[in-house]
Amino acid sequence: MSTKIDEFKQKIADYTLEKPERKPRQNYVSVLILRELQSAARFTTDGTEANSAVIRIGDTEATVGKLFGRKQVASDRRVAKALQRTLISEQMNSVMKKGVWDGCSMEVTKMCQRCPDCALFGSAASDEGISITSRVMYDEAYSIRSISTIVEEYFQNAPGDNYAKSPTSGIREPDFFKEGTLFPCVVTLKDATPEEVLFFLNITDRNTRYGATGTRFGKVRNHILGVYAGYREGPSSLEVTRGVAMALAGSADREKLKGILTADTLSLDMVCEAAVSVYESLAEKQRVKHDKFDTDYVSKVLSEMKDDAVVKEILETQLVKVGEYVSAD
């Protein structure tokens, strides 16, 4: 019925497993994503200061914004679990050995260890189960522009007063990453099933929140720029960010690079294009052979998953496949 999905599953068959297995193999499906902030976002660990890191681009040292891998995975799992609750609660009830499915949890030791999300993203051992290793690899992502360009510090004068941008008085509010900030990200699925690849793509397509939960901040649009399937792991998010900055600058020249690092805005199209060509040329240099599915191909696959019934079927198929994998007995 769903032709593009079937075709895609067939094409990635050599780089995926029919069923999840305990013993690791060498199958990698990497997804190149550009996360674009569509509203100001708070990515902070201490509650005030924006997460940053010093990276080297050519001969230039730059302090850029940082989006932790663990923040990305937590946000994606929240979406994955919510989706499962909507679509396969009934089916989950019937696979639970005692009682009903509680909908699974975000708390590491309280996860159900039976659902497709737990099987793919992993979970720690609870009282009876054994722990499941994650088969999705996220790494830290870095902004292209420098932290001083993309972060705004706010100070509140007094209760009720408006926000001020000057530190002259009052309480410092948590830093904001400005709208328009771009984070190139590579996420890699290892030894996944074709259904898990589809599940992951669907979650990425749906997820619009990567900041703190329950706030009006942190609206994100995930642009999936390509899917690369092979037997070796591809380039990292950091390498892509670095390469994009260089590509936009046209050279490693310090002044030209500075122009990009401090630019008011960057063209989304140009960044997307650069990210793809940087990723592919790095993969080539690193002798990574892969089959490529470009952004147009992936969006056709995603379009077929607009229909929840299609996603439901994928999750049901996956649920059968994880049966043995998740049961310790």
Binding residues for Zn ion, rule: CB under 5 A, are 104, 111-112, 115, 118
C-beta closer to Zn ion: residue 121 or 279: 121
- The CA–CA distances, whole Å, from 261 to 37, 266, 274 equal 17, 10, 15
- The CA–CA distances, whole Å, from 51 to 46, 231, 293 equal 9, 33, 32
User: Smallest distance, Å, CB 29 to Zn ion?
Assistant: 22
- Confirm if 253 and 313 have CB atoms less than 8 A apart: no
C-beta closer to Zn ion: residue 112 or 271: 112
C-beta closer to Zn ion: residue 115 or 198: 115
C-beta closer to Zn ion: residue 171 or 320: 320
Phi, psi of 152 (to 5 degrees): -115, 135
Residue keyed to tokens 């294009």: 273
The tokens for 141 are 């992502």
C-beta closer to Zn ion: residue 108 or 270: 108
User: Smallest distance, Å, CB 112 to Zn ion?
Assistant: 4
User: Smallest distance, Å, CB 287 to Zn ion?
Assistant: 37
User: Smallest distance, Å, CB 118 to Zn ion?
Assistant: 3
Residues 6+ apart with CB under 8 A from 195: 9, 116, 314, 315, 317, 318, 321
C-beta closer to Zn ion: residue 97 or 165: 97
Of 190, 232, 231, which is closest to residue 22 (Cα–Cα)?
Answer: 190
User: Smallest distance, Å, CB 79 to Zn ion?
Assistant: 14
Residue keyed to tokens 């068959």: 13
- Confirm if 289 and 231 have CB atoms less than 8 A apart: yes
C-beta closer to Zn ion: residue 79 or 115: 115
User: Smallest distance, Å, CB 35 to Zn ion?
Assistant: 25
User: Smallest distance, Å, CB 30 to Zn ion?
Assistant: 25
User: Smallest distance, Å, CB 133 to Zn ion?
Assistant: 15
C-beta closer to Zn ion: residue 112 or 248: 112
- Confirm if 327 and 115 have CB atoms less than 8 A apart: no
C-beta closer to Zn ion: residue 119 or 276: 119
Neighbours of 74 (CB within 10 A): 15
User: Smallest distance, Å, CB 83 to Zn ion?
Assistant: 12
The tokens for 225 are 């720029």
| 32 burial via Cβ count (<10 Å: 0-12, 13-18, 19+) | buried
What are the counts of helices (DSSP H) followed by strands (DSSP E) for the chain? Answer: 10, 11
Phi, psi of 115 (to 5 degrees): -85, 165
